[in-house]
């Protein structure tokens, strides 16, 4: 490695390592297929919010090999960079693989031991430990309240004897452990897709935006709604939902008073009055979905949208960027002000989720 250039560690969905590399255009150093992470070098700055395939973006400072069970703490402490002098939190992390799941028992046990030593050395903020925040399932909000602008310290274990020592900028990374935003299932939800929209809201909107943009009695259209997981997520937040799908809604979604099921074609349906939200989970070509979203925004039919772009078998990055650029070009030409963000969420498989929102003039 050339040590004059910054190195980066990025977590991703296993199988999407090459997409991560392609998106950053940085030099690949370690990109094992299905490992769930990549090491890159050479870009002075990367923007987390602009990287769809990156679950987490970390600056890599060094690594420790041959860690021995009898004393892991001494070599790890020696590898932690002297600057910054203090960290807001310690994250011990593992890849999103079967081996990683096995390792997470070890990191949970090791976390309080290392935290205690770092605190004694004055290198860790005296805020609640990461474990406590995670238990509250609101890391994002809690982190915001105590971290100020201090970087976080991340120690990533590709396996039990190797550790990569990293830091994250709280304004340019995910606050969630392993870059995975945890959300909980609702017992009445008609499908597990409920979790996907829940995760999208957590990832794309902070607590203030959620309170402002997702108020009871706001209106939403769900294109490709059946069996009703996304619709149920919106209804749980108090929104009135037009659920458009020729297929049936299931369970409680079929009879909920705030849900109106419309058996229509999602590509042809347009609301009589503009709505607050458009969500779309139809399995279709990304370009076709991009065109549909553009039409709704140019026509002033919605304020915000969350939609999926299903990725083709190959050329994921190119297909995604082509679809996103189509939206950008059309909205720029029409003078629509907006922000656009895409992420492959934890609950996304061969797809990315996009958040498009109108910016008021
Ligand atoms: C992946 S499923 C949606 C799952 C849903 N988001 C949930 O949370 O339960 C895709 C749905 O899109 C619907 N669909 C596909 N093409 C459509 C079209 N042109 N108009 C309306 N619905 C369509 C299918 O009937 C199917 O129910």
Average pLDDT over residues 163-184: 97
Please indicate, yes or no, whether residues 133 and 230 belong to a single structural domain of this protein: no
CATH of the domain at 345: 3.40.50.150
Taking only the tens place, the pLDDT of each residue in 37-57 is: 999 998 889 999 999 999 999
Please indicate, yes or no, whether residues 171 and 211 belong to a single structural domain of this protein: no
Q: What are the percentages of helix, strand and coil residues in the chain, rounded to 5?
A: 35, 25, 45
What percent of the chain has pLDDT above 90? Answer: 89
Q: What is the pLDDT of residue 355?
A: 98
CATH of the domain at 41: 3.30.2130.30
Which of 196, 269, 281, when mutated, tests ligand 1's pocket best, judged by the most ligand atoms within 8 Å of its CB?
281
- Rounded to the nearest whole angstrom, what is the distance from the C-alpha of residue 280 to the centroid of ligand 1? 8
Q: Which domain covers residue 352, as residue numbers? A: 193-358
HEC per residue, 5-64: CCEEEEECCCCCHHHHHHHHCCEEEECCCCCCEEEEECCCCCCHHHCCCCCEEEEEEEEE
Gap between the terminal Cα atoms of the chain? 47
pLDDT at 130 over 60: no
**Does residue 246 lie in a domain region?**
yes
Q: What is the pLDDT of residue 14?
A: 98
Nearest atom within ligand 1 for CA of residue 279: 6
Mean pLDDT of the chain: 93
Average pLDDT over residues 190-204: 97
pLDDT at 137 over 60: no
pLDDT at 75 over 90: yes
Please indicate, yes or no, whether residues 124 and 166 belong to a single structural domain of this protein: yes
Query: CB–CB of 84/124 below 8 Å?
Result: no
Residue 74: strand, helix, or coil: helix
Query: CB–CB of 57/48 below 8 Å?
Result: yes
Boundary-marking domain end, from 152, 179, 206: 179
Confidence of residue 143 (pLDDT cuts 50, 70, 90): very low
Please indicate, yes or no, whether residues 65 and 174 belong to a single structural domain of this protein: yes
**Does residue 2 lie in a domain region?**
no
Average pLDDT over residues 192-221: 97
Please indicate, yes or no, whether residues 130 and 33 belong to a single structural domain of this protein: yes
**Does residue 187 lie in a domain region?**
no
Number of DSSP helices (H) and strands (E) in the chain, helices first: 10, 14
Please indicate, yes or no, whether residues 18 and 121 belong to a single structural domain of this protein: yes
Boundary-marking domain end, from 179, 210, 245: 179
Average pLDDT over residues 297-319: 97
In short, whether 193's Cβ falls inside 6 Å of ligand 1 is: yes
- Rounded to the nearest whole angstrom, what is the distance from the C-alpha of residue 309 to the centroid of ligand 1? 13
Q: What is the pLDDT of residue 148?
A: 64
Please indicate, yes or no, whether residues 199 and 175 belong to a single structural domain of this protein: no
Beta strand 37-41 pairing with 56-64: unpaired
Within 10 angstroms of residue 339's Cβ, the number of other Cβ atoms is 11
Please indicate, yes or no, whether residues 216 and 164 belong to a single structural domain of this protein: no
Please indicate, yes or no, whether residues 156 and 274 belong to a single structural domain of this protein: no
For the chain, the domain total comes to: 2
**Does residue 265 lie in a domain region?**
yes
- How far apart CA 77 and CA 59 sit, in angstroms, is 17
- Rounded to the nearest whole angstrom, what is the distance from the C-alpha of residue 286 to the centroid of ligand 1? 14
Boundary-marking domain end, from 144, 179, 214: 179
In short, whether 219's Cβ falls inside 6 Å of ligand 1 is: no
Residues 6 or more apart whose CB falls under 8 angstroms from that of 302 comprise 221, 274, 275, 276, 277, 278, 296, 358
Please indicate, yes or no, whether residues 78 and 121 belong to a single structural domain of this protein: yes
């Amino acid at each position: 490695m050339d040590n004059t250039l910054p190195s980066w560690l990025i977590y991703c969905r296993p199988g999407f390592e090459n997409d991560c590399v392609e998106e950053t255009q940085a030099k690949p150093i370690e990109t094992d297929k299905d490992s769930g992470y990549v090491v890159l070098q050479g870009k002075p700055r990367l923007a987390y919010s602009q990287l769809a395939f990156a679950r987490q973006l970390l600056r890599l400072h060094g690594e420790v090999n041959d860690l021995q069970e009898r004393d892991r703490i001494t070599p790890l402490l020696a590898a932690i960079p002297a600057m910054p002098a203090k960290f807001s939190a310690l994250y011990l992390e593992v890849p999103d693989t079967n081996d990683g799941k096995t390792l997470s028992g070890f990191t949970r046990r090791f976390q309080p031991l290392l935290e205690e030593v770092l605190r004694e050395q004055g290198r860790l903020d005296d805020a609640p430990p990461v474990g406590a925040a995670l238990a509250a399932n609101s890391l994002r909000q809690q982190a915001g309240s105590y971290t100020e602008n201090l970087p976080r310290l991340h120690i990533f274990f590709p396996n039990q004897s190797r550790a990569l020592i990293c830091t994250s900028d709280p304004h340019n990374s995910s606050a969630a452990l392993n870059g995975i935003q945890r959300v909980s299932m609702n017992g009445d939800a008609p499908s597990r897709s409920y979790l996907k929209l829940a995760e999208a809201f957590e990832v794309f909107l902070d607590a203030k935006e959620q309170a402002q943009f997702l108020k009871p009695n706001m209106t939403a259209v769900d294109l490709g709604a059946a069996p009703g997981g996304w619709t149920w997520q919106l209804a749980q937040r108090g929104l009135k939902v037009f659920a458009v799908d020729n297929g049936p809604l299931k369970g409680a979604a079929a009879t909920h008073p705030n849900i109106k099921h419309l058996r229509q074609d999602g590509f042809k349906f347009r609301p009589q009055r503009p709505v607050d939200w458009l969500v779309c989970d139809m399995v279709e070509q990304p370009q076709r979905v991009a065109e549909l979203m553009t039409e709704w925004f140019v026509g002033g039919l919605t304020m915000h949208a969350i939609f999926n772009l299903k990725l083709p078998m190959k050329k994921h990055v190119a297909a995604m960027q082509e679809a996103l650029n189509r939206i950008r070009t059309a909205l720029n030409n029409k003078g629509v002000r907006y922000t656009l963000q895409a992420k492959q969420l934890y609950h996304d498989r061969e797809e990315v989720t996009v958040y498009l929102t109108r910016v008021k003039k």
